[in-house]
Amino acid sequence: MGITKMPPAYDPQKVEGKWYRWWEEHKYFHAEVEPDKEPFCIVMPPPNVTGELHMGHALDNTLQDVLTRWRRMSGYNALWLPGTDHAGIATQAKVEAQLAREGLSKYDLGREAFLKRVWTWKETYGNRITSQLRRLGASCDWDRERFTMDEGCSEAVREVFIRLYEQGLIYRDDYIVNWCPHCATTISDIEVEHLDVQAQLYFIKYPTPDGRDFVTVATTRPETMLGDTAVAVHPKDKRYRHLVGKEVVLPLMNRVIPVIADDYVDPVFGTGAVKITPAHDPNDFEIGRRHKLPEIRVIGTNGVMTTEAGPYAGMDRWECRQKVLADLGEQGLLARIEDLQHAVGHCYRCNTVVEPMISKQWFVRMKPLAEPAIRAVKEGRTRFVPERFTKVYLNWLENIRDWCISRQLWWGHRIPVWYCRECGKASASKDDLAACPNCGADKVVQDPDVLDTWFSSGLWPFSTLGWPKETPELKHFYPTSVLVTGRDIIFFWVARMIFSGLKFMGEVPFREVFIHGLVLDALGRKMSKSLGNGVDPLEVIEKYGADSLRFMLVTGNTPGNDLRFHFEKLEGARNFANKLWNASRFVIMNLEGYDPRFQPQRLDLSDRWIVSRFQQVAGAVDAFLRDYELGEAAGVLYEFIWDEFCDWYIELVKPRLYRGTPEERATAQHVLVNVLKGTLELLHPFMPFITEEIWQNLPHEGETIMLAPWPKARVEQVDRGAEEDMRLIISVIRAIRSLRAEMNVPPARRAEIILVVPEDGKRETMGHWRSYISDLASGDVEITRDLAAEPSQAAQAVVGGITIYVPLEGLIDIPQEIARLERELANVQKEVVRLEGKLDNEGFVAKAPADVVEKERQKLEDYRIKQETVAQRLAILKKSPAM
């Protein structure tokens, strides 16, 4: 190692790839079960195999990596288990698009060949995201990487399905579901995104059979009227009481339908009369079932009107809407049209307007599963961080509806149910069936649908650890320690993992859920493909390095809050890395003659100070990490490295390195190396690459910083006295620098510095460490108890009971100095008045804690001394001949 290998500007490109490969080759990420060690386990939220790393992933995985690396260094048996999700719709859509470019559809290939094709696609492109995670520095155990459709996970899915089925918790029924005409599949309630849309509310007249009366209904979806089987009004609505039990004629279809009364109807909305289309509206469906109304499907799965729509059959649903309106208008039945803003369900994948329709689907009965999941969180067996997300979770589960789990796709876990063509019985089976278990006929056919992707991801925390087999991993690492994820996924995933874990493992899947916010663009908008405002993490990594990206994502943010992406902030992180690099370069450049066995006999004040500060920082970082305050932990390190280690300690140590005795030099080297090394270790979870690079170039024990023991705060090295003394010295130096700057003293010019220190202890300290002041404030320091005569040509400052004079013959503009001191005096007086007021307040003195009162008294005392000193000085200056 040497300067030649450490250029003055840190270049992450030369460093990052090298170390990652080395770590992975040496299996430092790999965790074997070590029963005598405390386990720490995170299962990675599996990104979609189709996915590419975006800022959300970068944040999520940085947080996980920080926690994992920290725990690993802290001696835990740390496992971070990675994997990918098969992402039913998304992946199938990708492959279908690929086929389309070849002029083919999945039907041309047939199910089997199509699935083969998807697997090929997965083998080819599926590891893109995992290689991108490697670029980020993710220290996950790739030897244990899983896929939601691999053999083990698939077995877990079947096992779960069968068990739930046998317990009657999975059922198949005709029910109103959300249908995406574009994806041609059902989607679950949470996959429907409600967007506010400016629309029209159409008022349509439904005449009575005798043509003498009519009732007007309001609807935003006039085409659904073709499937109407009733009109509903509120039971107490006097306007319509006479019609309840009677009939009206459904226009266009000329069908006679009943007028019914139901509490659901809001008498003040629209006309107070609602058309009821049980087959195409969730509410109408409920009402329909209550009143045993016929369910007529007029819209087909492709969004085209069915034969039930009579003359409108074959029309697209939007086209049909226009035609219906036109026809109604012609017949004078369209009473009026109003503008209405309301929420319309859209498919979260393709943004198509979702069509509610009745369909035979598979459902999970949620109430019995939700209940234990609610209890577990209420009892604190799983804790949300930040706590406020508990409520979001509970609200959802407390109002849960059954979960539609069947999807009309090919890519996914096929529903393990076979129907017998002979006897008609449906049989669920863990193993593929060739014959009907009921009648023995060999004419069985498997349900064509697959399961919702989230069905398998809900099992992730235990399926990846080997379940349903009782593996040592499962036993050791379950329940996992913490789940790290975005808040957008609490319903989709977190809740489902919790109820699945409770159901099948009898225990929550994780002790804590650490929820983070979204990464927004610089303007505070969500990053999205359609807006084109996303920032590509890989480009950032190439330009600034993964460490900078990670540091930027972690700092200046508080748990659960969103984070805006600013390049300025990224530059700040990059500059910090460079600062650390150069501080380390300084240390390494000055290691000549370093002997690791050397034990210093006498530490300088600055040594004791920086060591003490380091111990405090080590304690703070660890405490913040325990509280998931990663931003604070990183912030503490930033300040320590930049403000204390670089700006003060390195500057203070230079004279000893350059001109000190061999012993002084060795002592300085010893402290530099050890504090720097410890700091690198504390920083390693945040910035793994640069810390490894530097650590390897410092004298060290062990193979890698990754496995270096986490620095434990050693309280016996905390030295309050040294910290206090340094604080005083630093403020004296700052005061002198400030005077020099204000008086425009050229930096190169050495100044004369007189310190008047009345207090014995402080005078001794100042005397002992006067070289600090003379070196860092560039001046010749004289220390006295009191001054025979104040120099008139001098600038003055008062700090911590010490009066500083910087005689500046010819540089002092007396009137200007008077003005400056008067400003100073005014400030001091303000403080004195404020503190006097406070201490005169009997309530304060009586009720405030004694130490607070004492602190305030001390402050007042200091300010009074300062007030007096400055006032005296002013008096002298005002009498001086220069005036």
Partner RNA sequence: GGGCGAUUAGCUCAGAGGGAGAGCACUUGCCUUACAAGCAAGGGGUCAGUGGUUCGAUCCCACUAUCGCCCACCA
Subset of residues 364 to 403 that bind RNA, contact rule: CB under 7 A:
388, 391-392, 395-396, 399, 401
Please say which residue, 221 or 550, places its beta carbon nearer to RNA: 221
Q: List binders of RNA among 343-362 (CB under 7 A).
A: 343
The nearest distance, CB 581 to RNA, in angstroms, is: 8
Amino acid present at 791: P
The only residue of 279, 465, 583, 630 in contact with RNA, by rule CB under 7 A = 583
Q: Per-residue string for binding with RNA, 25-64, x by CB under 7 A?
A: ----------------------------------------
Question: With respect to RNA, which residue has the nearer C-beta, 43 or 634?
Answer: 634
Establish if 572 lies at the interface with RNA (CB under 7 A). Answer: yes
Please choose, from the candidates 461, 504, 604, 489, the residue with its C-alpha nearest in 3D space to the C-alpha of residue 60. 489
**Nearest residue to 84 via CA among 157, 156, 153:** 153
d(C-alpha 546, C-alpha 193), whole Å:
34
Does position 266 interact with RNA (CB under 7 A)? The reply is: yes
* Segment interacting with RNA (CB under 7 A) among 164-172, 505-513, 585-593, 601-609: 585-593
Count of residues of this chain found to bind RNA when the rule CB under 7 A is applied: 97
190 contacts 387 by C-beta, under 8 angstroms: no
Residue from 281, 449, 604, 644 in contact with RNA (CB under 7 A): 281
Give the integer Cα–Cα distance in Å for 616 and 832: 33
Q: Output the smallest distance, CB 785 to RNA, in A.
A: 24
Q: Which two tokens stand for residue 832?
A: 């004195």
| Shortest distance in whole angstroms from residue 270 CB to RNA | 3
Among residues 748 and 788, whose Cβ is nearest to RNA? 748
- Per CB under 7 A, 288 contacts RNA: no
Asked if 681 and 622 touch (Cβ cutoff 8 Å), the reply is no
Minimum distance from residue 559 beta carbon to RNA (Å): 8
Only one residue has tokens 């001390």, namely 858
φ and ψ of 245, to 5 deg: 90, -15
Cβ partners under 8 Å of residue 525, min gap 6 = 531, 533
Longest dimension (CA), the chain: 122
d(CA 512, CA 182): 38
Interacting positions 502-521 with RNA (CB under 7 A): 520
- The interface with RNA within residues 172-191 (CB under 7 A) comprises 189-190
Nearest approach in angstroms of CB 416 to RNA is 29
Residue in 152, 235, 267, 619 binding RNA, rule: CB under 7 A: 267
Closer CB to RNA, residue 202 or residue 504? 202
In angstroms, the CA 869 to CA 802 distance is 10
In the window 471-500, what residues touch RNA (CB under 7 A)? Answer: 488, 491
Site for RNA in 224-263 (CB under 7 A): none
* Residues near 20 by beta carbon (within 8 Å), at least 6 away in sequence: 134, 135, 137, 689
Residue 568 sits in the site that holds RNA (CB under 7 A): yes
User: By rule CB under 7 A, what string of x and - marks binding of each residue 97-116 to RNA?
Assistant: --------------------
Position 594 contacts RNA (CB under 7 A):
no
Query: Taking the complex as a whole, how short is the minimal distance between the CB of residue 614 and RNA, in angstroms?
Result: 16
Q: Where are the strands (E) in 208-354, listed by range?
A: 214-219, 230-233, 247-250, 255-261, 273-276, 334-347
CB of 727 to RNA, least distance (A): 10
How far apart are CB 189 and RNA at their closest, in Å? 5
Query: Look-up: residue for tokens 């050229």?
Result: 746
**Is residue 575 close enough to count as binding RNA by CB under 7 A?**
yes
Residues 642-661 that bind RNA (CB under 7 A): 642, 646-647, 650-651, 654, 658
Specify the residue for token string 């001191």: 821
Q: How far is the CB of 459 from RNA (least distance, A)?
A: 23
Instruction: State the minimum distance, in angstroms, from the CB of residue 658 to RNA.
Output: 7
Pick out residues in 526-555 that bind RNA (CB under 7 A): 526
Nearer to RNA by C-beta: 66 or 218? 218
Q: How many Cβ atoms from other residues are within 10 Å of residue 343's Cβ?
A: 11
Rounded Cα–Cα distance for residues 756 and 750 (Å) = 19
Binding range to RNA, per CB under 7 A, among 296-304, 624-632, 803-811, 867-875: 624-632
Distance, CA of 479 to CA of 492 (rounded, Å): 20
CB 799 within 8 A of CB 735: yes
280 counts as binding RNA under rule CB under 7 A:
no
178 strand-pairing partners: 187, 356
Whole-angstrom Cα distance, residue 132 to residue 58? 9
Looking at residues 211 to 230 of the shown chain, list those that interact with RNA (rule: CB under 7 A): 217-221
Toward RNA, which CB reaches closer, 366 or 450?
366
| Per-residue interface string for the shown chain with RNA, residues 713-742, x marking contact by CB under 7 A | ---------------------x--xx--xx
**SS3 track for 247-261:** EEEECCCCEEEEEEE
- Token pair in block for residue 153: 């996970």
Q: Does residue 557 interact with RNA by CB under 7 A?
A: yes
Candidates 163, 365, 564, 700; binder of RNA (CB under 7 A) is 564
- x/- letters, 818..857, toward RNA (CB under 7 A): -------------x------x--x-xx--xxx--x--xx-
Provide, rounded to whole angstroms, the least separation between the CB of residue 589 and RNA. 6
Contacting residue, 71, 414, 569, 656, with RNA by CB under 7 A: 569
4 binds RNA (CB under 7 A): no
Tokens (6 digits) for 480? 């996992």
CB closer to RNA, 532 vs 843 = 843
Q: Which two tokens stand for residue 549?
A: 């990206």
Question: Least CB distance from residue 716 to RNA, whole Å?
Answer: 27
Q: Which of 130, 578, 615, 774 binds RNA (CB under 7 A)?
A: 578
Does the footprint of RNA cover residue 688 (CB under 7 A)? no
Residue 862 touches RNA, criterion: CB under 7 A: yes
Q: Is the dihedral of CA 638, 640, 644, 646 positive or negative?
A: negative
Distance of alpha carbon 99 from the chain centroid: 36
Instruction: Show Cβ contacts of residue 487 under 8 Å, excluding neighbours closer than 6 positions.
Output: 389, 392, 515, 516, 517, 518, 560
| Least Å from the CB of residue 845 to RNA | 8
Q: 873 near 756, Cβ under 8 Å?
A: no
DSSP string, 37-85: SPEEEEEPPPPBTT----HHHHHHHHHHHHHHHHHHHTT-EEEEE-EEB
Task: Quote helix, strand, coil % in the chain, to nearest 5.
Answer: 50, 20, 35
Q: At what angle do helices 662-683 and 688-697 cross, to 10 degrees?
A: 150
Binding segment for RNA (CB under 7 A), chosen from 150-158, 459-467, 582-590, 758-766, is: 582-590
- In whole angstroms, the minimum distance from the beta carbon of 79 to RNA comes to 29
Smallest gap, in angstroms, from Cβ of residue 879 to RNA?
Answer: 27
Around Cβ 485, how many Cβ atoms within 10 Å? 22
Please report whether residue 579 would count as binding RNA according to CB under 7 A: yes
The structure tokens 């540089």 sit at 811
3-class DSSP state for residue 813? coil
